[in-house]
Amino acid sequence: MPHLTTHVLDAASGTPAPGIRLALTTAAGEPVAEGTTDADGRAGLGPDELAPGDYTLRFETGDHFAAKRVEAFYPFVTVTFTVADRRHYHVPILLSPFAYSTYRGS
């Protein structure tokens, strides 16, 4: 299992958000990994272990809503977080056309 996983749930429809492109970078912008959410809105990114430091996970959300023909405010969402140890990191988002929330998952 990769050190980092994510899950995107379309909170407006109550369904997973498949096909969302993802990019993981260091906070300085150096690429680490790319991926796309699967049919269940989940993805694993990166190496088996991330070095301690700050990272940014970018979710390309605009295409998801455009495909549904839903007007949306956020063309992408970025979440910046700190890796402090070797624990598994799960960074999910709850997404709607005009809002999102995130939390440190397990």
Instruction: Please give the model's pTM, rounded to 2 decimal places.
Output: 0.94
> How confident is the model over 62-93, as pLDDT tens digits?
999 999 999 999 999 999 999 998 889 999 99
**Which residues does 30 contact at the CB level (< 8 Å), separation at least 6?**
none
The domain ranges of the chain are 4-100
| DSSP-assigned beta bridge partners for residue 100 | 95
Q: What is the pLDDT, as a whole number, of residue 106? A: 86
What are the CA-CA distances from residue 57 to residues 13, 30, 71 (Å)? Answer: 23, 12, 23
pLDDT of 1: 62
CB 90 within 8 A of CB 104: yes
Averaged pLDDT score across all residues of the chain: 94
Average pLDDT over residues 36-49: 94
CATH topology of domain 4-100: Immunoglobulin-like (2.60.40)
